[in-house]
Chains A and B, each alone.
Chain A
């Protein structure tokens, strides 16, 4: 055959074939295959011939042709495994305490592993269900703020339209902007948030519809609802075709009129997947801005939309687009003042948006960076607890080896090889682990996952039908059973038959590795206790932390505009319990603005709050230097108050009298307020300035009331509100309730850590208990002789305790400080935490010592009560 020197069939399928197929068939089949291959080479290309060859080879692996491999032969002994199974089940029954320790430990560990899996899957799958996630990009830009490059998820308003017109390879474009409105259908009136989007929204994001059509968004009078909202306003029936009224607010041209528009429901979205951060309540066409805000300038480079998304055919198209963004940058930077200049545009694929969300300011995806961190913590904890459980198993297996020596001796005498003994032990282990796996799965699915979901009030959507679970579970089974079983199996199978049967071997009771494992377990337990005590203490500490202002006896209401403010103010100022009342544009814990301060040498971005003169008194924000604002119209328009942090950052010795400019107007610092928390404690305080709010900007009315008058005043507020604005639902509340979720979260951390610690500690304790029990049981004869010869309880107690003293000493001296240091490191990522001290380490040490003493005490009692004759009768 010409050319056959160069053209040869691929080698690896041949190797596979040689390995699997019966030897007597090999020659002819190989021959046939080769013949066919050369036929095919003549007929088709070499590549195709090779492909056919490989594929045919794989198809040859059929039961008739495949030989029985030795491995399979060995594993195939059904009767043998049945016997192993029986032995292991009987072993489990005979020794309930040990079995409990093993099975409980492993199942708790597996339960946590399953929980960690569910959590990781949930986090990683967030927003990943969109079909075009790799083709849809969020337009972002980089800008220099406060000396650092930051990425922003907003986009200049005209950019989207221009890009769509300029680039042929942008197939779809969508702008997204959110507004608060009041929605009305029959008697149902609520404050709602609507999403103004371009009609392509539902093509770029694949939210399937339950009713109606997604193309209807092209019509400006159409509205698409989420399922929740459909139920809220229309109940269970199909609302398509019904009308819903949107109240945008007062008409700026004609203040006596309210701007409203009726929309026809043309679609209802199916329930969103659980792992979803970009969602919507109401979708309406972007063009509606022509109606709702006549001043909304679609071509204003100074203004931004919440998001602009583009869709391209392939990621390579994006490269060209990126290169051509320069002109938009120039347009934008010409339009805005210097302090908002941007340095470059960037594109963020929808697929990675959620993950990167923490680093993109103001983007429409909710950031859950903490969840990504939590995955890491959870994996570490799962692995640690798994290690603890495996160590328990190993320890107990080694300790009980003494009891099984005869069995193994006998097995070996009648012909079991060492390998078979190992296989026996490993298969017993698979049985135990399998029980644990089933229990663990139940534990995970009925306790860990639903418990956690209930605490946070969400749903991880964990289902056993997820195919990955069925890769993960067997993997756990395999890894756990091998990890926990391999060492005992190797160790026990090593014994020599002669030694065992002569009785000269006394294995099992003094294995140095057992001690190392126990020591490690105790160390881990110590670390866990230290850390969770510290978290517990810290949560308590944080719960008592001051917000920096007095949020008791304070309430607020969100008003629509100046007139509403004045009407409400007039009515409420007559209320008997009122101490102080004030109006503001922003409100502590609810809203704030930002501003860029210009100094000759630098510029910084700060939080800005526009308030009136009463605000500091009402909210009890202490003014510690200088003065507050003067209470008469037109005064202090160029004055600001700053917080302590700003002074600290600016290194000002005398803050009062300092100058800076905002938007090219000069301002003077007239006073300093104490630092306060405008966000939850999980976020650091920011440098903040206060300016006088123009009356037309008042959006909040806040009140301080006399102690005891809170409920009464609140009730009055509701009544007056209903009289004044029957059309608008009330929005406001007690200041104390501004951050309710924060304390809830704290409580949850405490519970989660408590559960982890409980499991870790009980594992360590069970391990310790099991080991001491076995140890004492193994030395019963010795103790009996001692007792007969007149040893005191004390001396026996000492001989038991001594073994563990060093172990304990080592575990505690390592565990306590490591736990301390680890917590301190973790605390570093919290902006505010309690001063770290050694009390939690001390508590951990004390708990562990108590446990050891109790365990040893129970065993000593046993020895004490035992009749030495019984002990000596054994064997």
Chain B
């Protein structure tokens, strides 16, 4: 977890890529995330997150098929690397640990 530098938004995008598997390309990632987050995202923010994570080695990509709707342009399908999986797993563990440490506090918050 030390030097991974994965921002919150980047983490969400990364998880989406992992979840979408073969369908993980720009617009699809955007749709999926918008559905889950219930807010509008811009293409720019998704793209810059993808590019940054590719540079950091969380993602690899290759060109996929082209559709007519895309004006004959190919999609770029993103795949998570094993490094990314490791980092995501670490993050989940850290969070789980923190969550398990929390209930005592949370239940004591009585309203009356």
Residues of A within 8 A of B (CB): 1, 4, 25, 27-36, 38-39, 56, 59-62, 64-65
Contacts and interface: CB of A to CB of B under 8 A. Distances in A.
Given A56-B42, A56-B44, A59-B43, A31 B74 contact: yes
B73 A60 contact: no
Given A60-B44, A60-B47, A65-B48, A35 B70 contact: yes
Interface residues of B, number: 23
Nearest to A59: B44
B69 A28 contact: no
B100 interface: no
A34 B71 CA distance: 7
Contacts of B75: 28, 31-32
A25 B47 CA distance: 9
Interface in B54-70: 63, 66-70
A242 to B, nearest CB: 56
A204 to B, nearest CB: 44
B51 A65 contact: yes
Contacts of A39: 27
Contact of A35 (B27, B44, B51): B27
A34 B74 contact: no
B47 A29 contact: yes
A280 B73 CA distance: 70
Chain B contact residues, majority secondary structure? helix
B52 interface: yes
Given A4-B68, A61-B44, 8 more contacts: A4-B69, A28-B73, A29-B47, A30-B71, A31-B74, A32-B30, A32-B75, A59-B44
Contacts of A36: 27, 30, 43
A756 B47 CA distance: 59
A762 B109 CA distance: 82
Contact of B47 (A4, A34, A38, A65): A65
A342 to B, nearest CB: 62
Nearest to A30: B73
B82 to A, nearest CB: 24
Contacts, number: 74
B73 A34 contact: yes
A35 B68 CA distance: 9
Interface string B71-110: 1011110000000000000000000000000000000000
Contacts of B42: 56, 59-60
A31 B43 contact: no
Contacts of A62: 44, 47-48
A443 B70 CA distance: 60
B26 A28 contact: yes
A31 B25 CA distance: 10
Contacts of B27: 32, 35-36, 39
A31 B66 contact: yes
A444 to B, nearest CB: 43
B61 to A, nearest CB: 9
Given A56-B43, A60-B47, A65-B47, A32 B71 contact: no
Contacts of A32: 25-27, 30, 43, 47, 70, 75
Interface in B29-49: 30, 42-45, 47-48
B26 A29 contact: yes
A19 to B, nearest CB: 16
B43 A33 contact: yes
A386 to B, nearest CB: 43
A1 B69 contact: yes
Nearest to A60: B44
Contacts of A1: 68-69
B11 to A, nearest CB: 17
B89 to A, nearest CB: 26
A299 B14 CA distance: 81
25 contacts: A4-B68, A25-B47, A25-B51, A27-B73, A27-B76, A28-B75, A28-B76, A30-B71, A30-B73, A31-B66, A32-B26, A32-B43, A33-B43, A34-B70, A35-B67, A35-B70, A36-B27, A56-B43, A59-B44, A59-B45, A60-B47, A62-B47, A62-B48, A64-B51, A65-B48
Max count, chain B CB within 10 A of own CB: residue among A31, A33, A62: A31
